[in-house]
Amino acid sequence: MKIEQIKSKDDTRLVIEGTTLSFVNALRRACTFEAPVLAMEDIYMSKNSSALYDEMIANRLGLIPLKTDVKSYTLPSECKCKGEGCARCQVKLALKVKGPCMVYARDLKTSDPAVKPIFPDMPIVELIDHQELEFEAMAVLGNGKEHAKWSAGHSFYRTYPIIKMGSGKKLKEGINKCPKDVFSGDKVKNLINCDQCGACEEYSAGAIKVSGDETKFIFILEPWGQVGAKEIFKQAASILKKKTASIKIK
């Protein structure tokens, strides 16, 4: 199997060649649903006179992405404390604010300075005069298959495009209908941009043929920010290796 990274400003893109659709899909699932990250799980509310119920605020808190060092923490189910809670498997966060003001993610105080909100300007709730919000929260490692708040990012893939150029009266019309800037004149310029939407094929009356190589894939990963793309791939690869090692074939 050959892996090559494609330059991209907004996400991480890989070209994976010499594998199967099943493997690439397993990699996608591991990246999205199994790579562990921190998220707030238990919220202990002391004061809440805001317009939102405790449960609504707790839901918002859980969905705040937190910077995660996966080497410093372990899953509660695998921790020596057996899930009772300790510094190896959880982080304490606290907030105490009195209105009038907008409460932001940056107002959270953590027991580990390395664990902080990725987006500090995320609003939690607005407080008016005399309203207060005070709570403590415990953030723990988890994975996306248990809840979306533990998802490390969004990943997807597509087969590597194959474009065959023919000739015909409507060839130029098909090229002009491409929404992804794939063509330059009557040549393919940016093959990697093609998402096989079929617009060029449809409007060219068959002069352009688009298909996908089922042994070569473009894999896109968009991390939410808790951990970097490289760490997500490392975790996903480790998880797949561990799972396949447990398979016993007689």
| Residue 20 in this model has a pLDDT that exceeds 80 | yes
pLDDT digits (tens, 9 = 90+) for 25-34: 999 999 999 9
pLDDT digits (tens, 9 = 90+) for 196-209: 999 999 999 989 99
- Maximum Cα–Cα distance across the chain: 74
Q: What are the CA-CA distances from residue 224 to residues 62, 66, 155, 184 (Å)?
A: 14, 9, 11, 34
Q: What is 63-114 written as a DSSP string?
A: TS-B---TTT---GGGSTTTTS--TTTEEEEEEEEESSEEEEGGG-EESSTT
| Residue 243 in this model has a pLDDT that exceeds 90 | no
Nearest to 157 by CA among 205, 109, 206, 214: 214
Q: What is the pLDDT of residue 86?
A: 87
- Name the DSSP letter for residue 119: S
Q: What is the pLDDT of residue 78?
A: 87
Q: What is the pLDDT of residue 244?
A: 86
pLDDT digits (tens, 9 = 90+) for 89-140: 899 999 999 999 999 999 999 999 999 999 999 999 999 999 999 999 999 9
Question: What is the bridge-based pairing of β-strands 123-127 and 37-48?
Answer: unpaired
Q: What is the pLDDT of residue 186?
A: 86
Q: Count H helices and E strands in the chain, helices first.
A: 5, 12
| Residue 226 in this model has a pLDDT that exceeds 90 | yes
Domain ranges of the chain: 2-34+152-242, 38-143
| Residue 40 in this model has a pLDDT that exceeds 80 | yes
Identify the CATH class of 38-143.
mainly beta
| Residue 81 in this model has a pLDDT that exceeds 90 | no
Domain 2-34+152-242 is classified in which CATH homologous superfamily?
A: RNA polymerase, RBP11-like subunit (3.30.1360.10)
pLDDT digits (tens, 9 = 90+) for 227-236: 999 999 999 9
pTM over 0.95: no
